Amino acid sequence: MLRTITLSAIVCIYLSSTVCAESLWRDDSRSLASDRRARAIGDIVTVIVTESSASTLKASTDTKKTSDLKGGPGVGDIFKNIKQLAFSGDQSMAGEGSTARSATLAAKITARVVRMLPNGNLVIEGTREIATNKERQFLQLTGTIRPEDIAPDNTILSTYIADAKINLHGKGIIADRQREGIVTRIIKWLF
């Protein structure tokens, strides 16, 4: 028995001198059971962008104007030989126009909390750049969110963002070809 205790003591001394474990827990860590939603500056939140818009505008104009003017000879011997003067005219205009526009944007972007407002709302900003075949696409998002609108999986729909600014633009060969030429722009500017 003495031998077992001695052997156990030797093993404990050996293990304590060779095994140095640090704690996996840090003082600044969140609780393992805590909510993982964004709530402070520097936290990130995934925004599910589901934007669509449609607008239609129609206008029509129909105007008509008729003018009649008659004048006769004046008083006196000089004006008695002048025939009666008459003028009549019609003017009309009809115009019609319509425009229709629709747009849909579906994307996911991760944004960072950059500011916390006094009422607890969070200001977020996010940027995503995608490059494919020398074509670059940029998605930028800014806005203000309420922490209670963030889902348990730390996502929020773009429809819940106040003062949302979502900008999608591209640079590259395709984007350059979609721009009007210089001659077309000059003609449009002149007329």
Does pTM surpass 0.85?
A: no
Q: How many helices (H) and strands (E) are present in the chain, helices listed first?
A: 3, 6
pLDDT value at residue 165? 94
Smallest CA-to-CA distance from 153 within 42, 50, 46, 43 is with 46
pLDDT digits (tens, 9 = 90+) for 111-135: 999 999 999 999 999 999 888 887 8
Please report, for the chain, the start and end positions of each structural domain, with discontinuous segments joined by +. Answer: 35-53+101-191
CA–CA gap between residue 147 and residue 36 (Å, rounded): 11
Q: How many CB atoms lie within 10 A of CB 172?
A: 14
pLDDT value at residue 124? 96
Specify burial of residue 168 (Cβ count, 10 A radius: 0-12, 13-18, 19+): middle
pLDDT value at residue 147? 93
CA–CA gap between residue 150 and residue 38 (Å, rounded): 8
pLDDT digits (tens, 9 = 90+) for 17-53: 554 556 665 665 555 555 678 788 999 999 999 888 8
